[in-house]
Amino acid sequence: MAGRTRWSARALLAALLASALLALFVSPARGRGGRDHGDWDEASRLPPLPPREDAARVARFVTHVCDWGALATISTLEAVRGRPFSDVLSLSDGPPGAGSGVPYFYLSPLQLSVSNLQENPYATLTMTLAQTNFCKKHGFDPQSPLCAHIMLSGTVTKVNETEVDIAKHSLFIRHPEMKTWPSSHNWFFAKLNITNIWVLDYFGGPKIVTPEEYYNVTVE
């Protein structure tokens, strides 16, 4: 009981502190009125975080500012067959300032994750603002919901011919090194076909966002 009370008090204090911090860095941007990149949060060098109550927008923000994510798949490795397994994958949802929300990947059959996906295409992608300097700059622990993080679940699918150009442009502009990755690895473009979204961006538990709400967000 005492433990619970202390937690709530701490949560309240953290919330107050967060609001104060948010006010500090949000108001100068508001003061200037615009939404262009000139309003990037000075401390973290990111565009301003969308209002935390707009979970769909926060999810799109996190996806867009992250250059990579941890993708969990079900392992096909003999030693851990059937168990969860996650690896770091570079990704992009579009050129800076023009995110589509679709996480695109450049994959090779030589990757452990890809072997797993060939047997079971279900996967969950986790991305967090801890990958940017936002959380450190604002003093948010990576596990704190104030350090906004999201889980996107779905299936990883190869993109079709018509979508290859978009995937390639999205990835190569943010990961120029990919252009020189050895062709012997048979790289191909893929995306996460999102079916479920969880957003942790404030106290009170994860928020559920539907793919419809997520893709409905318009980016200015």
Q: Which residues are at the interface with ligand NAG (CB under 6 A)?
A: 155, 157, 160, 162-163, 193, 195, 212-213, 216
> What is the smallest separation between the CB atom of 157 and ligand NAG, expressed in angstroms?
4
Is the Cβ of residue 157 or residue 186 nearer to ligand NAG in the bound state? 157
Is the Cβ of residue 35 or residue 81 nearer to ligand NAG in the bound state? 35
Label residues 172-209 b or e (16+ Cβ within 10 Å = b): eebbeeeeeeeeeeebebbbbbbeebbbbbbeeeebeb
Is the Cβ of residue 8 or residue 195 nearer to ligand NAG in the bound state? 195
Residue among 143, 162, 148, 121 at smallest CA distance from 64: 148
Strands 104-107, 122-128: parallel, antiparallel or unpaired by DSSP?
Answer: unpaired
> What is the smallest separation between the CB atom of 141 and ligand NAG, expressed in angstroms?
31
Question: Residue 86 pairs with which residues in a beta bridge?
Answer: 72
Is the Cβ of residue 146 or residue 159 nearer to ligand NAG in the bound state? 159
> What is the smallest separation between the CB atom of 163 and ligand NAG, expressed in angstroms?
5
